[in-house]
Structure 1
Amino acid sequence: MGFFDHDENENSAAVEQTEEKVVQMPEKRPFQRWEVGGEVYKLKLDTAGISELEQKYKTNLMNVMGTGNGGMPALTVMLDVAHVAMRKYHHGIKRETLNALFDKYLEEGGSQLNFYTEVYMGIFTVSGFFSTALANQVEGAMEEAAQEIL
C-alpha cells in the first residue's frame, strides 16, 4: 500500500505545481456601452463588420482609428464604425436612426470629442484591436484625456 500512497503524493504535488502556473487575465468588457436618452446601446465590431468597414475605406481599420486633423477621424467615419458596431446587438438599426441618436447625444451635453474618447475608441478596445493589457492602458489614457477636456 505504501507504493500507491507514494504515487498519490506525487500526483498531488504535480497538480499543485500546475495550479501555481495559472495566471489571472485582466477582465475584458464584452461590449462598449453608449447611453443616449436613458437607453443603453451595446456596440462591438465582429469580423464581418470589420471586413465591411475595411472594404468601404479600402484600408485597415487601425488606419482610420485616429486620422485627420488633431488625430480624430471625421464624424462620418466615427458614425459608420458605431453603426456597424451597433448592428450586432441592435438588429435592423438604420444609419438615419444612429444620426438621430447622435443629435440627441449632443443635445444631452455630449460632444464629438467625448464621443471619440468615450465611445469610438471603446469600440476598438472591446473588439479585439488591442491586447487586454494594452486595452486597459488605452482606456486609462482615454479617461485621463476625457478629464482634461472637462
Structure 2
Amino acid sequence: MLGAELLNASAQVIAARTGRMVQGLTDPAGQDLAELSLMTTEKTEALAAAAAALSVRAGAVGERLGQAALDEGARAMQAATEIACALTPAAAAQAQFRYALGWWSRAAGQTLTLSAELTQAQTAALTPIHKTAVANAKRLRKR
C-alpha cells in the first residue's frame, strides 16, 4: 500500500513540476522558483531521514546477528565437548544429531526474524519519502 501510494504521488508531483518547468521556459519571468528550490531541499531532507532510519535498523539487526553468532559459537563448543566426551559412538552420534537439529531450528527462526526486520527497515526507510511525496502531491493539487 505504501509503495503504491508513493508511486502515485510521485507521478502527480513529477507531472505538476514538469508542467511548471515547461511554463517557465516559455515565460522565464513566470518561473516558479520557490517550487524549483523545493525539489532539491525536500528530496535531500527525505533521503537523509530515510538513511537515518535505515542506519538505526541496520545497527540493531547487526547487533542481534552478532550476538546470535556468538551464541551459536558457544553452542558449537558445548556440542563438540559432548561429542568428545561421549562414552560410545552412539552417544557421540546422538550429541551430534541434537546439535544439528537445534542448529536447523535456530537457523529457520533467524531467517524468519531477519525477513521481518528487513521488511520493517524498508518501511522505515520509505516512510519519510512517502510522507514528502504525498504532501507535495496534495499541495500541488491545490495550486
Same structural fold, with TM-score higher than 0.5 when normalized by the shorter chain: no
TM-score, structure 1 as length reference: 0.23
Structure showing greater Rg:
2
Please state which structure has a larger fraction of its residues in helix. 2
Please state which structure has a larger fraction of its residues in strand. 1
